[in-house]
């Protein structure tokens, strides 16, 4: 059906129609405040009814309460936005409402929340979102949300949410379905009604129904009618959803850009083709929605979905027939209408049941019985509805027969927040029993059977209560248990009887609105708080006196401590009700004292929010309470043991007790212990026997048995008796602890492997010092590790494993940090972690296990990998969902720790398990907890929630992601809480995923490594052993690195793009913090985000980053004294230079930062790029930036002219005309003479060093080439090669040497034999080599290119021929793919810059001086001339910016230039034998 479409319709008209219709509907709703309030109360009544008619006493989980709380808060915020006139407040409330409503809008429609179908909550949320977008003047989004409401839940949308809108948008398209339904119904009715062949097709058959006709309906006819009604309802819902999707496609379709098929209008086809056309007029009896009172809830729908047959069996009440002309009229039907069958599904729409089918089903449900009792019904005939009776006016007899025979059970679960929060006085009064209560599901079960069931359930519940173990995690468990026990004790007599029976049962419980939720008693002095909840005044006063500042049920904060005045309206209603029901009122009246001595609910049973781990006092006190209750019950008049029998038992015990205390025969004493235990067990721990055994003398007798006996059964029995005595009376424990030897005895038993001793030690409440002194850790771990526990008929008050876990927690949580560390390491060394993980399936003590594991992680971070991979995460999540606030905090901290793994792939798997496993929506529960969590927990839960959200690509908006990021950024804003700010910054840094095995982020070290400063990174890698383990393959590490980079990009993307880069503005303020630690942390975070921006696609946030952070990075660069901080700032600035706007802004500070950057060149490789970018800015005057200062000038006149200079590893080597080579130390900017060698007999014309830096080559006029070994302080000649010709210029490596001599061309010498001559008829004046290509500067201002592999030459550049003078290339230098050539000045140009790849000229050196030598740095060119001047050029722009004059006058010729490795020092040699050095700044 979904794919059946007609021809294309005019989309503009459709959109205009939708905007007009929906806009008008929403505008009416926004104007009419009373209608909105009434609609909200009606929907809330349906939710409340679901609580009231629940068949199961199931506890509503924390996450389920939170879902409804979000919906409630969202609607409240929306209402505030509607009512306020302040635009800023309106926008803020709308934003908050959107976040809250989106939570419910995104619920899984196939599931339920607290028994309520999610599709109902989601549709309701979409309806409110449509109001929201209307307030934002975005009618298009408003229409989309309305259509989404009809798509998700067409059934309730047309009967609850917007019936009038459904009539306008969808009813005109349903004519074929209505026609089919009319015809099919007509055929069925004709089969039932005799002589109906002549009836009109549109006749209303309701007027023909009477009692005899109902009895004559066959079951097969009723089944056909039921199927017809079901099919009719499904058709309406399916086609409603179909047309809603079509409308949605029309809105989203854009003919100019969309490539999808044009949406076509669908055809609403009925399930079968009608035999003939029907009238266009819709008959009056055709219904578009069932009679569904708001108080009916969803129980019938969900029940029919789960078990249709059972629903049909239970649905046996009858309703009168009536006419309902439209859905609007249907909503006005009296709430006396009965339940109906309904099918609830997202894929398959709900069943729709009309009143006709309901009546047939109800009557036929009892049809067999009616047939059997047809004769007897003449004497007592049931009341029959008249065809003219209105649904709202049943006859008196009918009213009497329709009395509610079923007591409305009070649910044991917490009523959801929504239904309580929006309840007003009017709703309270509406729920009073003045009007007949709505009938619930009825049954033909007999009263006797119900009584048996109730007795059995009550007995079962008492047994469960006696075996109830303590639950440390759930602070509300006591409240739930009490409410359940009270309910079961009061009984629940069945009133499900035959529909026409006159039996009735009086109400046995007061209305729930009259009962205080704390005391479970009828209100005496009711007060209604600001949260909408009503409590007994004395009960809520005690709640506040305990230090609580929140509402006990909603947990909303209370702004005022003073209580309001008495709710007199409610009090008067209660008084009136008490007069009508005096017996029930007396039973449930408020009393200062408990109604019975066995009550276990202290102080009205208010559950306090306890810490995650209960203390010994709380635990033992609870045990005592339970034991005393048992004793009280046992000594009641109905006790099994009478007083006379009890005295006999005690008299029989006296000899055994005397033997235990006085006998010196160990065997007799052991026999006495076993006899006492058997008698104790047979008497069900009778209190009189307990009192008899509790004396100090007898207790000491049992202790002596513990120390003397070797029989393990006797020892266990003694421990059992002592445990029972302690649990009932604390003085017994004081007797045991009064002597240190007694505790030492128990400690010895525990260490010797007696696990039961742990229970007794736990009950004695030892101090932390006592536990620590006896070194229990290994023994406790052994008990926890035991797979098979000793089975015994004597059941201890708790299992030894539980006691061992609790004791272990007490040991690890006590003492200072050092003590905690030592104890936790003791657990780890005893291999306690695997044993604890295996015990996680135990509900008792699970919270203690998590606490212990958390302590172990903090002591040894490396153990988190074992815990993360082995622990059953759903159990931890279950603990989170069911625990109190303190326990949730521990769970969140634990989960946050186990995802701090150094392997990204493993970490993602753990996160995936947290996200997908568990019975509830983990992300939603985390989101709700984030909104309510204390400040110290918000960062952890936000970080965890964000990581769960980022498991998928962040392509769409996510409420989880937005809320998590907002919480983290909000943490950075809290200037008043410095530690919290630092924690927020560290949490954001850790999100990058770059973590060591200890969970510490090494993001800073990685950023420094990227900037070229490797030392910190290498140190971390060495300490953490993260390089590459032998057990891990290279492929595994590569896969993990790939996953880490992908994760890093996701995190950076969502952080940078949150609210258009709002994080950068916050970081700007944080970088100004007075705290050095905070400023440093934010600097790392800011640098990482800015660096990642250069790797992310442009989304418009780079400008925000530049405006907020550029000035701060420059400030750090200029003011910080920390080298690492300066390098981080340079890395961030490097990311900005790609942005022309940022580069221009950076140019303003060029003069101030230039010198700082030059000093950082040796530590950071990115500085060079920044300097180059600054120098090439048109707005920057390079002459102002560059400067130099003369450092040293040395004279070597005795050695003659300096022919060549070379810089190597902080040393300068110079060659001279007299054949000497000198070595100078230039490490501290002062040339210090080291060595002078004179191996050559004539001038050393050239020096060349190999690429490895360990070999030095020298060429001389003495026709030799010498090879030198370079040591730390000296050079040594190792080889001498006679080449038969003087060497003027030399380039060499271990394979070959190339040199020029007196003739043309060059010589290639392979270190043996005769040099090979490559002649190209040019005299070579200089050489340069790149790979296997040699470049020769020649006469005639040309450059020749020689292939050393093929020994061939070619012309690289041919200079222009001039008639006058000789033009020659004197110097060549290769760097960065460029060839720099200098020589004779021709037409004002003495040098050129060539691209080696293209051989094209990229720049010219315009000067009138001949260039004799060239030195090139990353930023500058230095050219030496014949007149003693060194010209300085900007490398990129080839622009002359400065000149340096060498000492010695204008007749000094510069023969050689060389730079140090960093380009900070320039050395020059001259023709007069001087060496001069300058420091470049």
- With H, G, I as helix, E, B as strand and everything else as coil, classify residue 392: coil
Is residue 1079 very low, low, confident or very high in pLDDT (cuts 50, 70, 90)?
very high
Q: What is the mean pLDDT of the chain?
A: 75
pLDDT greater than 50 at residue 619: no
Which range has the worst mean pLDDT, 360-364, 531-535, 586-590? Answer: 360-364
pLDDT tens digits, one per residue of 56-81: 445 556 567 777 788 888 898 898 88
Specify burial of residue 520 (Cβ count, 10 A radius: 0-12, 13-18, 19+).
buried
Q: Which residue has the tokens 């007196």?
A: 1302
- Which range (181-195, 387-401, 1244-1258, 1372-1386) has the least confidence? 387-401
Tens-place pLDDT, residues 80-111: 889 888 888 888 889 888 888 988 888 888 88
Chain segment 652-691, per-residue pLDDT in tens:
788 888 888 888 888 888 898 888 888 877 776 667 777 7
- Judge contact between 1252 and 1292, C-beta under 8 A: no
The stretch 1016-1033 carries a mean pLDDT of: 67
pLDDT at res. 941? 93
Q: Across 185-194, 580-589, 1198-1207, 1359-1368, which has the greatest mean pLDDT?
A: 1198-1207
Strands of the 1306-1309 sheet, one edge to the other: 1289-1292, 1297-1300, 1306-1309, 1316-1318
| pLDDT of res. 336 | 35
Q: Please give the pLDDT value at position 214.
A: 60
Q: What is the pLDDT of residue 277?
A: 36
Q: How confident is the model at residue 301 (pLDDT cuts 50, 70, 90)?
A: low
Q: Residue 335 above 50 pLDDT?
A: no
Backbone angles phi and psi of 1103, in degrees to 5: -65, -40
Q: Please tell me the predicted confidence (pLDDT) of residue 1306.
A: 92
pLDDT for 991 equals 93
Q: Of 791, 726, 716, 794, which Cα lies nearest the Cα of 757?
A: 716
- Give the HSE-up count for residue 828: Cα atoms under 13 Å, Cβ half-sphere: 20
What is the DSSP code (8-state) at residue 1471? T
Can you give 836-904 as a three-state secondary structure string?
HHHHHHCCCCHHHHHHHHHHHHHHCHHHHHHHHHHCCHHHHHHHHHHCCHHHHHHHHHHHHHHCCCCCH
Report whether pLDDT(926) > 80. yes
More confident residue, 530 or 986: 986
pLDDT band (50, 70, 90) for residue 257: low
Contact 830, 780 (CB under 8 A): no
Between 258 and 78, whose confidence is greater?
78
As a residue count, the chain comes to: 1481
Q: In this structure, what token pair is assigned to residue 9?
A: 């319709």
**Residue 982: pLDDT above 90?**
yes
Beta strands in 1186-1341 (DSSP E): 1188-1195, 1202-1208, 1211-1216, 1221-1225, 1232-1237, 1244-1249, 1255-1260, 1264-1270, 1275-1282, 1289-1292, 1297-1300, 1306-1309, 1316-1318, 1324-1330, 1333-1338
Judged against a pLDDT cut of 90, whether residue 984 lies above it is answered with: yes
| Sign of the alpha-carbon torsion through 673, 679, 682, 686 | negative
Q: What is the mean pLDDT of residues 1240-1266?
A: 92
Q: Mean pLDDT over residues 589-602, rounded?
A: 40
Helices 87-105 and 118-135 cross at an angle (nearest 10°) of 160
Give me the pLDDT at residue 308, please. 42
Closest CA to 1113 of 1088, 1094, 1095: 1088
pLDDT tens digits along 861-896: 888 888 988 898 888 988 888 888 888 889 999 999
Q: What is the pLDDT of residues 500-516, one digit of tens each?
A: 333 333 446 788 788 88
Flag the least confident range among 155-159, 489-493, 958-962, 1258-1262.
489-493
Per-residue pLDDT tens over the stretch 1149-1184: 888 888 888 888 888 888 888 888 888 788 777 777
pLDDT of residue 1129: 93
φ, ψ at 648 (rounded to 5°): -65, -45
DSSP structural state of residue 157: I
- Is a pLDDT exceeding 60 seen at residue 460? no
Whether 1338 shows a pLDDT value over 70: the answer reads yes
* Lowest pLDDT segment from 245-254, 291-300, 558-567, 1064-1073: 291-300
- Highest mean pLDDT, choosing among 11-20, 259-268, 1073-1082: 1073-1082
Collapsing DSSP to helix, strand or coil, 437 comes out as coil
Q: Identify the residue with better confidence: 574 or 431.
A: 574
318 by Cβ neighbours in 10 Å (0-12 / 13-18 / 19+) ranks as: buried
Per-residue confidence band for 1126, with pLDDT thresholds at 50, 70 and 90: very high
Beta strands in 506-598 (DSSP E): 526-528, 534-536
Per-residue pLDDT at 1066 exceeds 90: yes
Is residue 1054's pLDDT more than 90?
yes
Residue 364 confidence class, pLDDT cut points 50, 70, 90: very low
Average of pLDDT values for 974-985? 90
Report the pLDDT averaged over residues 558-575. Answer: 82
The pLDDT-based confidence of 1288 (bands split at 50, 70, 90) is very high
pLDDT at residue 1251, as a whole number:
81
């Amino acid at each position: 059906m979904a794919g059946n479409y007609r021809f294309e319709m005019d989309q503009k008209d459709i959109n205009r129609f939708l905007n007009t219709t929906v806009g008008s509907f929403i505008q009416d709703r926004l104007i009419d405040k009373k209608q909105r309030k009434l609609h909200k109360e009606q929907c809330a009544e349906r939710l409340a009814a679901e609580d009231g008619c629940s068949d199961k006493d199931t506890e509503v989980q924390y996450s389920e309460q939170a879902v409804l709380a979000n919906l409630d808060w969202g609607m409240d915020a929306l209402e505030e936005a509607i009512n306020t006139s302040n635009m800023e407040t309106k926008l803020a409330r709308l934003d908050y409402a959107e976040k809250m409503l989106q939570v419910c809008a995104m619920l899984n429609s196939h599931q339920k929340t607290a028994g309520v179908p999610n599709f109902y909550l989601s549709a309701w949320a979409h309806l409110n979102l449509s109001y929201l977008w209307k307030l934002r003047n975005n009618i298009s989004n408003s229409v989309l949300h309305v259509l989404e409401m009809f798509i998700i839940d067409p059934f309730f949308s047309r009967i609850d949410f917007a019936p009038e809108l459904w009539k306008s948008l969808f009813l005109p398209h349903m004519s074929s379905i209505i026609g089919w339904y009319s015809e099919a119904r007509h055929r069925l009715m004709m089969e039932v009604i005799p002589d109906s062949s002549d009836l009109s097709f549109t006749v209303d058959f309701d007027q023909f129904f009477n009692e005899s006709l109902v009895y004559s309906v066959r079951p097969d006819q009723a089944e056909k009618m039921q199927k017809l009604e079901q099919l009719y309802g499904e058709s309406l819902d399916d086609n409603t959803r179909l047309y809603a999707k079509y409308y949605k496609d029309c809105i989203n379709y854009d003919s100019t850009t969309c490539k999808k098929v044009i949406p076509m209008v669908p055809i609403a086809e009925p399930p079968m083709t009608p035999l003939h056309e029907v009238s266009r007029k819709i008959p009056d009896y055709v219904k578009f929605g069932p009679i569904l009172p708001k108080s009916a809830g969803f129980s019938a729908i969900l029940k029919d979905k789960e078990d249709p047959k059972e629903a049909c069996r239970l649905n046996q009440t009858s309703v009168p027939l009536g006419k309902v002309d439209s859905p609007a009229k249907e909503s006005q039907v009296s709430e006396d209408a009965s339940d109906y069958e309904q099918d609830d599904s997202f894929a398959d729409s709900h069943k729709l049941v009309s009143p006709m089918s309901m009546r047939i089903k109800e009557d036929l449900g009892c049809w067999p019985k009616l047939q059997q009792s047809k004769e007897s019904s003449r004497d007592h005939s049931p009341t029959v509805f008249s065809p003219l009776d209105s649904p709202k006016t049943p006859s008196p007899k009918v009213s009497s027969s329709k009395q509610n025979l079923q007591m409305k059970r009070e649910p044991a679960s917490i009523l959801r927040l929504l239904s309580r929060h929006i309840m007003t006085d009017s709703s309270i009064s509406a729920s009073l029993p003045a009007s007949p209560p709505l009938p619930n599901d009825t049954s033909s079960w007999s009263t006797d059977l119900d009584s048996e069931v109730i007795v059995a359930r009550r007995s079962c519940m008492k047994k469960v209560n006696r075996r109830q173990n303590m639950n440390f995690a759930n602070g509300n468990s006591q409240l739930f248990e009490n409410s359940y026990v009270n309910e079961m004790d009061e009984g629940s007599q069945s009133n499900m009887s035959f529909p026409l029976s006159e039996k009735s049962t009086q109400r046995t419980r007061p209305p729930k609105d009259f009962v205080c939720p704390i005391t479970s008693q009828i209100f005496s002095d009711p007060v209604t708080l600001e949260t909408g909840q009503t409590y007994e005044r004395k009960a809520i006063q005690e709640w506040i006196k305990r230090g609580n500042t929140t509402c006990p049920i909603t947990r909303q904060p209370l702004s005022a401590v003073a209580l309001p005045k008495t709710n007199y309206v409610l009090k008067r209603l209660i008084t009136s009700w008490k007069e009508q029901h005096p017996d029930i009122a007396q039973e449930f009246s408020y009393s200062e004292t408990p109604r019975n001595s066995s009550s276990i609910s202290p102080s009205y049973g208010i559950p306090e929010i306890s810490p995650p781990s209960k203390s010994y006092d709380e635990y033992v006190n609870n045990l005592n309470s339970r034991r005393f209750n048992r004793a009280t019950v046992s000594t009641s008049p109905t006790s099994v043991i009478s007083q006379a029998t009890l005295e006999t038992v005690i008299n029989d015990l006296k000899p055994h007790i005397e033997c235990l205390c006085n006998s010196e025969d160990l065997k007799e004493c052991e026999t006495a212990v076993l006899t006492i235990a058997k008698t104790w067990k047979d008497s069900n721990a009778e209190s009189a026997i307990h009192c008899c055994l509790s004396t100090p003398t007898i207790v000491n007798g049992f202790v002596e048995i513990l120390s003397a006996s070797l029989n393990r059964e006797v020892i266990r029995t003694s421990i059992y008796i002592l445990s029972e005595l302690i649990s009932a009376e604390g003085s017994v424990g004081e007797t045991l602890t009064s002597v240190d030897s007694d505790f030492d005895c128990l400690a010895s038993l525990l260490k010797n492997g007696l696990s039961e001793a742990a229970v007794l030690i736990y009950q004695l409440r030892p101090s932390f010092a006592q536990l620590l002194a006896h070194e229990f850790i290994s023994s406790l771990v052994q008990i926890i590790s035991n797979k098979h526990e000793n089975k015994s008929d004597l059941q201890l008050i708790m299992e030894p494993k539980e006691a061992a876990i609790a004791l272990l927690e007490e040991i690890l949580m006590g003492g200072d940090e050092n003590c905690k560390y030592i104890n936790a390491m003791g657990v780890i060394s005893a291999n306690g972690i695997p044993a604890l993980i295996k015990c996680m399936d135990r509900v008792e003590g699970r919270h203690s296990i998590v606490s212990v594991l958390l302590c172990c992680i903090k002591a040894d971070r490396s153990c988190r990998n074992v815990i993360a991979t082995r622990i059953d995460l759903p159990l931890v999540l279950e603990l989170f969902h069911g625990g109190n606030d303190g326990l949730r905090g521990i769970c969140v901290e634990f989960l946050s720790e186990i995802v701090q793994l150094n392997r990204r792939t493993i970490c993602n798997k753990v996160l995936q398990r947290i996200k997908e496993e568990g019975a509830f929506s983990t992300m939603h529960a985390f989101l709700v907890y984030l909104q309510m969590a204390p400040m110290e927990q918000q960062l952890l839960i936000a970080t965890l929630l964000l990581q769960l959200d980022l498991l998928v690509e962040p392509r769409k908006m996510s409420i989880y992601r937005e809320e998590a990021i907002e919480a983290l950024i909000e943490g950075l804003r809290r200037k008043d809480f410095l530690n919290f700010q630092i924690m927020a910054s560290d949490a954001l840094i850790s999100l990058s995923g770059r973590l060591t095995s200890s969970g510490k982020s090494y993001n800073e070290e990685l950023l420094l490594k990227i900037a070229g400063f490797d030392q910190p990174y290498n140190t971390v890698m060495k300490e953490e052993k993260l390089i590459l383990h032998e057990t891990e393959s290279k492929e595994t590490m590569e896969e993990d690195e790939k996953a880490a980079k992908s994760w890093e990009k996701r995190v950076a993307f969502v952080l940078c793009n949150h609210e258009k880069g709002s994080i950068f503005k916050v970081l700007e303020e944080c970088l100004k913090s007075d705290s050095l630690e905070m400023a440093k942390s934010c600097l790392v975070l800011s640098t990482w985000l800015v660096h990642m921006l250069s790797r992310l696609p442009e989304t418009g946030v780079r400008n925000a980053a530049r405006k907020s952070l550029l000035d701060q990075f420059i400030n750090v660069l200029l003011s910080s004294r920390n080298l690492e901080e300066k390098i981080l700032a340079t890395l961030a600035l490097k990311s900005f230079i790609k942005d022309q706007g940022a580069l221009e802004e950076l140019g303003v500070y060029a003069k101030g930062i230039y010198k700082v950057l030059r000093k950082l060149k040796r530590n950071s490789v990115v500085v060079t790029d920044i300097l180059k970018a600054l120098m090439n800015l048109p707005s920057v005057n390079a002459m102002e930036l560059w400067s130099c200062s003369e450092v040293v000038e040395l004279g070597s006149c005795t050695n003659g002219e300096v022919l060549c200079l070379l810089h190597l590893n902080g040393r300068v080597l110079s060659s001279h005309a007299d054949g000497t080579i000198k070595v100078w130390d230039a490490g501290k900017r002062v040339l210090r003479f080291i060595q002078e060698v004179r191996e050559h007999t004539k001038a050393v014309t050239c020096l060349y060093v190999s690429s490895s830096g360990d070999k030095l080559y020298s060429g001389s006029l003495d026709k030799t080439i010498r090879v030198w070994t370079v040591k730390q302080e000296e050079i040594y000649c190792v080889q001498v090669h006679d080449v038969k010709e003087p060497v003027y210029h030399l380039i060499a490596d271990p394979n070959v040497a190339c040199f020029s001599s007196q003739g043309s061309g060059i010589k290639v010498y392979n270190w043996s034999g005769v040099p090979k001559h490559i002649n190209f008829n040019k005299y070579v004046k200089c050489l340069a080599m790149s790979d296997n290509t040699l470049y020769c500067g020649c006469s005639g201002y040309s450059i020749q290119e020689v292939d050393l592999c093929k020994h061939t030459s070619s012309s690289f550049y041919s200079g222009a021929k001039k008639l006058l003078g000789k033009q020659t290339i004197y110097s060549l230098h290769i760097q960065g793919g460029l060839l720099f050539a200098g020589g004779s000045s021709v037409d004002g140009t003495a040098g050129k810059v060539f691209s080696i790849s293209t051989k094209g000229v990229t720049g010219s050196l315009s000067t009138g001086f001949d260039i004799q030598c060239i030195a090139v740095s990353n930023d500058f060119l230095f050219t030496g001339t014949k007149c003693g001047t060194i010209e300085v050029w900007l490398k990129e722009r080839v622009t002359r910016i400065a000149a340096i004059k060498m000492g010695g006058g204008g007749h000094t010729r510069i023969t050689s230039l060389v730079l140090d490795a960093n380009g900070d020092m320039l050395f020059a040699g001259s023709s007069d034998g001087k060496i001069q050095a300058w420091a470049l700044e």
